[in-house]
A and B are shown apart, each in its own frame.
Chain A
Amino acid sequence: MREEILVAVVMFLILIGGSIATKNDKKWSVLFLFLASVAGSLAAGMGIRLREIVEGPFGFLDSMLCVCAASVFVAALAQSGVFELLFSKICGIKNSVLKAFAMLLFIALPSALTGFAGSSVMTTGKIFAESVSDRRKGAAIVGVGAFIGVLLPPNCIPAMIASNGAGSVLPTPYTGFYLPLLVLAVPAFIAFALIQRKGLSEPAAKDFEKNTSTLISLVALCLVCLATFLDGVFASVLYLGGNTLVFFVGTIVVLVACKGRKTMAVLSDGIMKAVGPMALVFALGSFIEVSSMTGIRGIYSYWILPHNTTAVMLVLMAASLVIGYFLSVPIPAFLITYAVFPIGWLANTVIVTGCSTAIALVALLTMNGGVFKSVTDGLGDEFKLGRKESLKAVWPVALLVLAMGIIMVVFGDSLSFLIR
């Protein structure tokens, strides 16, 4: 057996063993990804290569800094009461279709800003779920809404992971994804809002006592959304300093408007919510780097050379979905960076976005519940969904997202006008 294959087997066995032993707990995955990296380095006879083990995460540092800043901003908004204000305004909408769209956007908003589902579940999802009579239906809506939010721009952790794989030797920056992500998520957004129109428009209007600080926070939220849109769509002609700075300034404005109330609690809450996804992505970076160092990527390149690039991507996407259902995110995320790798320096962000749908879908539905487990953990056991119920709620959205992902991979070159 070739040495590279042996190294890969050692790394994957540790990861699979860890996933099974911890029942796919994402926080434990961080430790097992690092252990697998160290074991891979040792199995290759290179000792513990600290340089490569820590260099991998550096590729994700900038994008994770933005995720962290967005999470703190969302925590500041939640503390200011702006989500309650928005919710009361949306509840007052008379037209049920418009109300359903607005409500779904409300649920998805925090995840869209931060790039991970937990952000929506604990803020807007909680507000929505507490106001519906059918708890299970509420859980389904919150789970799928948070998932759609993850796919929406500006931040999308699955796309950030995939973009790292496209860099070949150096990581590709997470730029130019705004419109591709919007195109990917909008069909699922529209379909889900129409399918769940009744449930989404159920919450009745209620009064909310607004004050100056909440209104200033609302203005800050609108300006941040506008700035991220300008950064995403007009980045080639207008530079506002990047989204990290935008979120940072937004947080300061909200905290000042709230007269610095609970500043430390906001900081701690925002960072602690983001720390799990950040650590997972960093550990994945280490795993990817060690796989390159030990020659796994080299032998992979040799294997795929005779095949069509698009076919390789689609096969790895399918493999990710199947493996991900049983073993959760780490292995699919690794496979998707390898799926994107063949386009290397020619990285087309539309194709990268398409590939990233496989990671997102794995996060949505795994054997242990996926995003619905986060909903149960965050909102309580009364919001627990069975596998059949969650599949029933998810399948139209999952199919639409997967179809859009495949279209983006296959017709990525023709859709390159979406890259800004």
Chain B
Amino acid sequence: MLQVLYYIMITVFALLLILEIIKKRPFKELVCVAVVLVTFALRALHIK
């Protein structure tokens, strides 16, 4: 259940990151989204 939640979050953040790249937002904002995305992705992979 928790893993499903994390994967939903990952999908949302990945979509947002793509959207932000398309919008040509500043690099620092893209870094923020990427940091959050990577954290959730690695946490999801850690759940056994």
A interface list, Cβ under 8 A from B: 25, 27-28, 30-31, 34, 54, 57-58, 61, 64-65, 68, 267-268, 271-272, 275-276, 278-280, 282-283
Contacts of A267 in B (CB 8 A): 12
A275 B33 Cβ-Cβ under 8 A: yes
B39 A57 Cβ-Cβ under 8 A: yes
Contacts of A275 in B (CB 8 A): 16, 29, 32-33, 36
Given A268-B19, A272-B16, decide whether A27 and B39 contact each other with a Cβ distance below 8 A.
Answer: no
A27 CB contact (under 8 Å) in B16, B29, B36: B29
B39 A31 Cβ-Cβ under 8 A: no
Contacts of A54 in B (CB 8 A): 38-39, 42
CA distance A275 to B28 in the complex (A): 11
Given A28-B28, A30-B31, A31-B28, decide whether A278 and B16 contact each other with a Cβ distance below 8 A.
Answer: no
Of chain B, the residue at the smallest CB distance from A280 is B32
B12 A282 Cβ-Cβ under 8 A: no
Enumerate the 6 nearest inter-chain pairs by beta-carbon distance, A residue then B residue, closest first: A279-B32, A27-B28, A279-B35, A57-B39, A54-B42, A275-B32
Contacts of A278 in B (CB 8 A): 32, 36
Measured between C-beta atoms, what is the minimum distance from A397 to chain B in Å?
29
A34 B32 Cβ-Cβ under 8 A: no
Measured between C-beta atoms, what is the minimum distance from B4 to chain A in Å?
13
CA distance A352 to B30 in the complex (A): 32
Of chain B, the residue at the smallest CB distance from A22 is B28
A279 B16 Cβ-Cβ under 8 A: no
In B8-47, the 8 Å CB interface with A consists of 9, 12-13, 16, 19-20, 26, 28-29, 31-33, 35-36, 38-40, 42-43, 46
Overall SS of chain A's interface: helix
B28 A30 Cβ-Cβ under 8 A: yes
11 A-B Cβ contacts within 8 A? A27-B31, A30-B35, A31-B28, A268-B16, A268-B19, A271-B12, A275-B33, A275-B36, A279-B33, A279-B36, A282-B36
Of chain A, the residue at the smallest CB distance from B15 is A268
B interface list, Cβ under 8 A from A: 9, 12-13, 16, 19-20, 26, 28-29, 31-33, 35-36, 38-40, 42-43, 46
Overall SS of chain B's interface: helix
B28 CB contact (under 8 Å) in A25, A57, A61, A268: A25
Contacts of B12 in A (CB 8 A): 267, 271
A31 CB contact (under 8 Å) in B31, B36, B38, B43: B31
B43 A282 Cβ-Cβ under 8 A: no
Contacts of B20 in A (CB 8 A): 272
Give 19 A-B pairs besides A27-B31, A279-B33, A283-B35 with Cβ atoms closer than 8 angstroms: A27-B28, A27-B29, A27-B32, A30-B32, A57-B35, A58-B43, A267-B12, A268-B16, A268-B19, A272-B16, A275-B16, A275-B29, A275-B33, A276-B29, A278-B36, A279-B32, A279-B36, A282-B35, A282-B39
Contacts of A283 in B (CB 8 A): 35
Contacts of B38 in A (CB 8 A): 54
CA distance A290 to B36 in the complex (A): 18
Contacts of B9 in A (CB 8 A): 65, 68
B32 A276 Cβ-Cβ under 8 A: yes
Of chain B, the residue at the smallest CB distance from A27 is B28
Measured between C-beta atoms, what is the minimum distance from A95 to chain B in Å?
43
Contacts of B42 in A (CB 8 A): 54, 58
Contacts of A34 in B (CB 8 A): 35
Of chain A, the residue at the smallest CB distance from B40 is A61
Measured between C-beta atoms, what is the minimum distance from B48 to chain A in Å?
14
Measured between C-beta atoms, what is the minimum distance from A410 to chain B in Å?
36
Measured between C-beta atoms, what is the minimum distance from B41 to chain A in Å?
9
Of chain A, the residue at the smallest CB distance from B19 is A268
CA distance A268 to B38 in the complex (A): 18
